[in-house]
Chain A
Amino acid sequence: MDSAPQGLTIEKIHVWRGDRHVLRGVSLILQPGELMQVTGPNGTGKTTLLRVACGLLRPEQGSVAWCGRPIAGVRPQFHSALAYAAHEPALKGDLTALENLRYLVGLKRPVRTAELEAALERTGVAPCAQLPVRVLSAGQRRRVALARVLAMRSPLWMLDEPFTNLDSAGSALVTDLLREHVSAAGMALVVAHHDIALSARLRRLELQ
């Protein structure tokens, strides 16, 4: 008997936003150890594709399956395996960086403060751990959001424009994190205009 299919399968999805037919029959397969970069001009539905892939948006047609099963039926398992970072960092300005991480990562898995501090250290914002997020710069917030993705330890990453607001060192850091993630049999679906310097394992999906 075949082993259960792994990874994320998106089959022929169609999405309408009002009168606009945004996604027209997009399909993709993402297996462990793979990175899929979604590119395309503005307004071609890259973010919409990501929202459909993570189950926030239901496609009018087509299906999204996780490990061979439609995501509507395995929502808790699928979402436990998913770390999603939207375009906005989803941080509370009144909470410190550490508190922001503790509450959202804590919903995914039991987590110790030391692990969260290590994640913040890795993304280069350890000195900001005890500062309220509202005093951080846009780039620092992006790094805190990346630390959240890292601390979730999820096999599947979905990142929407992770390079936005980052300096060159930050961009190199994102590439490093993605490389480590896919080397450890992780999966990543990334919306980015920026070229990701990852030789093997990188596939591109261009939306028209």
Chain B
Amino acid sequence: MSTADLEPQVSALRAMTLIVGRELRLSFRRPEQVLQPLVFFLIVTTLFPLGLSLQLSLLRDMAPGVLWVAALLSSLLSLDALFKGDADDGTLDQLALSGQSLTAIVLAKTASHWLVSGAALVLVSPLVGIALGIPWGVFPTMLGSLALGTLCLSWLGAIGAGLTVGLKRGNVLVSLVVLPLAMPLLIFGAGATDRAAAGISPAGALYLLGSLCVFTCTLAPFAVAAALRITLEG
């Protein structure tokens, strides 16, 4: 058994596929964890029209903001659990000692989190769009902006979750860390939908969302890995 130059035998891509598979399987074994933020999103957006007056025009004016605030809050609901379970049962140590880069592990975990939270939210958003009276023509902009925005949110949330995973009650802190950073997403996301509804081109706001998305997707994995390393050493 030669020990000096034992190279990792599993490629990063193969490792990431394994982790995505594991995360998805875990999510489907506990469907209530996936459904809870979605149900929250649907309930909040359905309660708004009931609480407001019956004017469709007023509802239409407010719809993008309502949609985005609800999406933001429901994304936050599931985020603090991103690394918590693994940290509590010791799996995070095993992942950190797997010989794979922590950045690749974080990338796979956050991507699978987005698949079951953000992407699922994008899929149910047309229902909400119909309920809030958003015109059909605005749907592509709404879906696109939500897809970009929730992906950014998953990454921002992962940074918060990584920093607070060692704390007993980290979830409030995650919201405090993430919400200020999420403001540009809310402004440009709701702005894009608003502009499309007003018949103006939403391209500018969407481009800005896209660039924020590229920024977080490329740099956040390193930040999250660093945050987790601090937690593990603490």
How many of A's residues come within 8 Å of B, CB to CB? 43
The interface-forming segment of A20-28, A36-44, A89-97, A193-201 is: A89-97
With A6-B4, A7-B3 as contacts: A110 and B26 at CB distance below 8 Å: no
CA distance A1 to B72 in the complex (A): 63
CA distance A207 to B19 in the complex (A): 38
**Structural contact, A109 and B9, CB atoms closer than 8 A:** yes
When distances are taken between beta carbons in the complex, the residues of chain B under 8 Å from A81 are 3, 6
**Structural contact, A185 and B1, CB atoms closer than 8 A:** yes
When distances are taken between beta carbons in the complex, the residues of chain B under 8 Å from A77 are 5-8, 99
Give B100's nearest chain A residue, CB to CB: A107
When distances are taken between beta carbons in the complex, the residues of chain B under 8 Å from A169 are none
CA distance A178 to B26 in the complex (A): 33
CA distance A55 to B233 in the complex (A): 9
**Structural contact, B26 and A94, CB atoms closer than 8 A:** yes
The interface-forming segment of B90-98, B199-207, B208-216 is: B90-98
Whether A84 is near chain B, meaning CB under 8 Å from some CB there, is yes
The interface-forming segment of A98-106, A112-120, A121-129 is: A98-106
CA distance A106 to B15 in the complex (A): 7
CA distance A67 to B93 in the complex (A): 22
> What's the minimum C-beta distance from A156 to chain B, rounded to whole angstroms?
7
CA distance A92 to B136 in the complex (A): 44
> Which A residues between 159 and 176 are near B, CB-CB below 8 angstroms?
none
Give B17's nearest chain A residue, CB to CB: A106
Identify which of A56, A58, A108 contacts B98 (C-beta below 8 A).
Answer: A108
> What's the minimum C-beta distance from A163 to chain B, rounded to whole angstroms?
18
Taking each of B5, B18, B19, B98, which has the highest tally of chain A beta carbons within 10 Å of its own beta carbon? Answer: B98
When distances are taken between beta carbons in the complex, the residues of chain A under 8 Å from B94 are 84, 90, 104
Whether A186 is near chain B, meaning CB under 8 Å from some CB there, is yes
Whether A79 is near chain B, meaning CB under 8 Å from some CB there, is yes
> What's the minimum C-beta distance from A73 to chain B, rounded to whole angstroms?
13
- Interface contacts (Cβ under 8 Å), in number, total 109
CA distance A86 to B232 in the complex (A): 13
Identify which of B3, B5, B21, B97 contacts A56 (C-beta below 8 A).
Answer: B97
**Structural contact, A84 and B93, CB atoms closer than 8 A:** yes
> What's the minimum C-beta distance from B137 to chain A, rounded to whole angstroms?
43
Give B92's nearest chain A residue, CB to CB: A90
> What's the minimum C-beta distance from A131 to chain B, rounded to whole angstroms?
13
**Structural contact, B10 and A110, CB atoms closer than 8 A:** yes
When distances are taken between beta carbons in the complex, the residues of chain B under 8 Å from A7 are 3
Taking each of B3, B15, B25, B95, which has the highest tally of chain A beta carbons within 10 Å of its own beta carbon? Answer: B3
Give B91's nearest chain A residue, CB to CB: A90
When distances are taken between beta carbons in the complex, the residues of chain A under 8 Å from B232 are 56-57
> Which B residues between 6 and 64 are near A, CB-CB below 8 angstroms?
6-10, 14-15, 18-19, 21-22, 25-26, 29-30
> What's the minimum C-beta distance from A37 to chain B, rounded to whole angstroms?
21
Whether A70 is near chain B, meaning CB under 8 Å from some CB there, is no
**Structural contact, A95 and B6, CB atoms closer than 8 A:** no
Give B21's nearest chain A residue, CB to CB: A103
When distances are taken between beta carbons in the complex, the residues of chain B under 8 Å from A58 are 233
Whether A206 is near chain B, meaning CB under 8 Å from some CB there, is no
Whether A35 is near chain B, meaning CB under 8 Å from some CB there, is no
**Structural contact, B1 and A32, CB atoms closer than 8 A:** yes
**Structural contact, B3 and A6, CB atoms closer than 8 A:** yes
**Structural contact, A106 and B97, CB atoms closer than 8 A:** no
Taking each of A32, A78, A80, which has the highest tally of chain B beta carbons within 10 Å of its own beta carbon? Answer: A80
CA distance A185 to B14 in the complex (A): 30
**Structural contact, B97 and A103, CB atoms closer than 8 A:** no
When distances are taken between beta carbons in the complex, the residues of chain B under 8 Å from A80 are 6-9, 99
> What's the minimum C-beta distance from A138 to chain B, rounded to whole angstroms?
13
Question: Can you report 6 A-B residue pairs in the complex whose CB atoms are below 8 A from each other?
Answer: A77-B5, A90-B90, A90-B93, A92-B91, A95-B29, A110-B14
Closest 9 CB pairs of A and B: A90-B90, A80-B99, A79-B99, A107-B98, A94-B29, A88-B90, A103-B22, A109-B9, A67-B4
